[in-house]
Amino acid sequence: MALTLVGVSHATADIEVRERLAHAPHEIPSTLATVRANTGARESVLLSTCNRTEIYLVEGERDATDAAWTALSTRLGRDASPYGYVRREREVVRHLFRVASGLDSMILGESQIQGQVRDAWQIGRAHSSAALNRLFQSALLVAGRVRSETAIGRGAASVSSAAVQLAKKIFGSLQGRRAMVLGAGETAEMALECLVAHGVRTAIVANRTYERACDMAARHGASAMHYDECWTRLADVDVMLCSTAAPHAVVTPAHIAPTLGARGDRPLCILDIALPRDVDPDVGTLGNVFLYDLDDLRQLVAATVDHRRAELPTAERLIDEEVESYWSWLAGLATVPVLTEFRARMDDVREREVVRLLERLEHLPDADRQTIEHFSRALMNKFMHEPSVRLRAAASNGRGLGIVDAVRYLFALEDETTSRDRGIEDER
């Protein structure tokens, strides 16, 4: 049982790479099915957010990293491996626990990632089983502990709030400004809340599903518009924040340029916090238009989260505890099939040897033959008892997987094609 992670994140790749690797929820099962079909992986989950695309695997008989990179490279249109990383075994566990807890986020301590980890697990349930189910459940519990037992998320910033801070750098204050939000999802709503909290006077919500725009606008005292009609209002707004789930740019120079004359010298701040990006980068070349995307948030984010870094040692110690707890559980899980197969192999050897012996002792009465059979079973159970106890004990103290691998090797349990007689016959 080998845990493997292949991934790309904001720490290793820029937004152009990340947006091409991002998966919509309906695309995830297909990618997982392809990777598993090409590797025989036993379990898989794909986590895709604006800042990362990661494939978690429990490998079968073959290394799954090449197939995972092939799937990502096909989506990227070139080799994806230079932009990413591979984690194995305990480091997979530690990595996911840090991700779910917001320690590996662009904004340290941000809370939205916890829900995204939960969603990834739910989408991948058809491709996961005991090991990954327990891993993702544990990650969510760890994230809850980090947030409740440390101050790492206290007053936590989000991508939305960081974007609003960028807008304030343009205008000094958002008091009395007008804003338009494209999108009606969770991130878009968080952004609208931030805008209103910072004094935006008039807000417009535009979405392809008008009913969702109406619902969100009603909750925050904004007005709703049909998506196709919102462009006529661009001349009136100071800030446009974009957070749709579109697979391609939905805001182009052709949408913005016609409104610039009516704006006079008023700047337009466009905050694109979607991935893939909602706004064509060429929009940023238009006069008096200030365009920011996710990567532009980095410098601002570094300054806003410094005070939370003091909580990192406590959070890391908590994560270390939970990594050991999960690893002990996983080792215990791995011992069950090994013990079962080990006992089956030994019983097979015992049975064949007893049959051979009794063929040479045909003169024995049935009672004596049964005595020999009983003696062979009792002797095998005594031989098996101590190794079984010690293997279970090793699983409980964190050394189980290493010893499991040793048992597999010593008794050829890793080779399913091995004849059950080969080990005995070679010794004769």
Cβ proximity of 46 and 31 under 8 Å = yes
Biggest CA-to-CA distance, the chain:
112
Helices (H), 150-236: 159-171, 186-197, 210-219
Structure tokens at 247: 């697979």
Rounded (10°) angle between helices 159-171 and 297-304: 100
Rounded (10°) angle between helices 312-360 and 90-100: 140
Structure tokens at 194: 């931030």
Query: What letter does residue 371 receive in the DSSP assignment?
Result: H
Residues forming the active site: 50
SS3 state at 7? strand
- Cα 370 from Cα 349, distance rounded (Å): 17
The three-state DSSP-derived secondary structure of 25-77 is HHHHHHHHHHHHHHHCCCEEEEEEECCEEEEEEEECCCCCHHHHHHHHHHHHC
Closest CA to 342 of 396, 375, 390: 390
Which residues fall within 8 angstroms of residue 230, CB to CB, at 6 or more apart? 180, 182, 204, 206
Helices (H), 150-288: 159-171, 186-197, 210-219, 253-263
Question: Which helix (H) or strand (E) is 126 found in, with range?
Answer: none
